[in-house]
A and B are shown apart, each in its own frame.
Chain A
Amino acid sequence: MSSSSLLYRTSSLIRRSMISMTNTSTSSTSSTFITRSSSDAKGLQQFFEHEYPKGTYPLAGKKWEARDLRGKSFEDLHKLWFVLLKERNKLMSERENAKDHKLTNPFRLQKVRKSMTAIKTVLGERDSLRKELYILTKCADNERKDVQKRVDYFKNLVGAVSLTPGLKELEELQESLKVDLSLEESIDNLTNLKSN
C-alpha cells in the first residue's frame, strides 16, 4: 500500500476516472476535479493544502470502515494511522486559516475521525480475542462453553491475522532486554569449573 493511495479508500479509482474525464472534457465544464498527490510536500508544507484555482474543489473519497480494515496487517494499520493524523492536522489548520473558519468540504474532517476510530475498533477486537484465549486456558470445565462462544465470535471477526505483531522486532530494538551471551558463557564456564 503506497502512502498516497492510503488516505481514502476509493481515491485511486476516482482519480483514474477523473483523469480520463478531464482528458475528454477540456475546459467546457466550469467545475473540474483536481487532485495532487500529497507526497510532493515536505516538512512543514504538509500542514497546508495546495491552493485550488477558482471553481475547483478538493476531492474526498469514502471513509475507511472496520470491515475494510479487518484483513489488514498491523503494519498497514500503523502506517494508515499516521497518514490520517497528518491529514487531520492539515485540515484543522486549513480550517483555522479559512474565511469564517469554514472548510469547503467540512465532511472531510469527520471522515478522517471516523476512519481513525475504525482502526482502533479493529485493534480492540484482536486484543479482546487474545484475552479471551488466555481465559480459555485458565477456566474450569463447566464454564468453557461460554468462553468458547466468545472466542468463536471474535475469531470470525479477526480472521487469520497475527495477534502479536511487531513485538519481536521491538524486543530486538530494546537494548535492556538484550542478553550478553559472552557474559553468560563465562558464568557457565565458572560454574562448570567449580563443579569439576
Chain B
Amino acid sequence: MEIAKQTAQKATKYWNNIFFPNMQMTVIRKSFEQFPQTRKLEFRTSCDVGKLDIKGYMKSVYNVDVPKVNTLNVQGRVKRQGTKRAFRQKDWKKAIITVDPSDVQSLKR
C-alpha cells in the first residue's frame, strides 16, 4: 500500500506529457514604433527563458518565423521609499527579435 502511494506520488502528471507553456511575453513600451523600418521587436520575459524557447514559442503559438534573437538580462531596480526603506523589483530578460521581411506589417489595428 505504501509503495503504491509512493509510486503514485512520484509519477508525473499525465498532462505533463503535453506541454502547457506558461511563458509571458510582453511588448516593451514604444518598441513597436520603429518595427516597419528595423524589423525588430523588444519583449520582456523572465530570466529562465532561452533563445531557442523564444523561437519555438513564436513559431508554434503566433506562427512567426524568427531567424535571429538577441537577449540581455536586466537587473531589477532598487526603489526607495523615504530615507531608509528600500526594495528591489524583479529581474527580467529583454528579448529582441528580428522578423522575416515577409512578416512585417502594421501592428496597430
Contact = CB atoms under 8 A, between A and B. Distances in A.
Interface of A: 40-51, 74, 78, 81-82, 85-86, 88-89, 92-93, 95-97, 120, 123-124, 126-127, 130-132, 134-135, 137-140, 143, 163-164, 166-167, 170
B11 interface: yes
Interface string B2-38: 0111011101011101101110111111101001000
Interface string B33-63: 0010000010010000000000000000111
A139 B109 CA distance: 60
B69 interface: no
Contact of B44 (A45, A96, A120, A126): A96
Contacts of A166: 17-18
A43 B109 contact: no
Looking at A78, A93, A96, the one whose CB has the most chain B CB atoms below 10 A away is A93
A47 B21 CA distance: 17
Given A43-B103, A45-B109, A93 B26 contact: yes
B105 A130 contact: no
A96 B28 contact: yes
Nearest to B108: A48
Contact of B1 (A42, A78, A89, A143): A143
B18 A123 contact: no
Given A44-B62, A135-B5, A139-B4, A123 B26 contact: no
A96 B44 CA distance: 10
B26 A85 contact: no
Interface residues on B, range: 35 or more
A82 B61 contact: yes
Nearest to A133: B8
Given A78-B18, A127-B15, A48 B109 contact: yes
A44 B64 contact: yes
Contacts of A95: 26
Given A41-B109, A45-B107, A96 B18 contact: no
A89 B28 CA distance: 12
B1 A138 contact: yes
A124 B13 contact: yes
Q: Please list the 9 inter-chain residue pairs (A to B) with the smallest Cβ-Cβ separation, ordered nearest first.
A: A138-B4, A93-B27, A131-B8, A50-B109, A92-B26, A93-B26, A139-B1, A127-B13, A123-B15
A45 B26 contact: no
Contact of B17 (A134, A139, A143, A167): A167
Nearest to B103: A43
A97 B107 contact: no
B108 A51 contact: yes
B108 A89 contact: no
Contacts of A170: 17-18
Given A44-B107, A48-B109, A131 B11 contact: yes
- Most interface-central of B18, B28, B32 (chain A CB within 10 A): B18
